[in-house]
Amino acid sequence: MASLPDPVIGGVSIINLGLLVSIGLSSLQRVNLSSTRNLAVLGTSMYIGLVSSEWLKRSKDTINTGNASLDQVLKLMLGTQMFVAGLTSIILDNTVKGTKEERGIKNMSYFDTGSGNHLLDKHQSVYDVPGVSKLQRKFRIFRHIPFLQPYRLNEPVNL
Length of the chain: 159
What is the pLDDT, as a whole number, of residue 12?
92
Mean pLDDT value across residues 97-106: 81
Selected residue with higher pLDDT from 49 and 129: 49
Does pTM top 0.75 for this prediction? no
The CA-to-CA distance between both ends of the chain, in Å, stands at: 49
* Per-residue pLDDT reduced to its tens digit, 47-85: 999 998 888 888 878 888 889 899 889 888 988 888 999
Euclidean distance between CA atoms 80 and 73, whole angstroms: 11
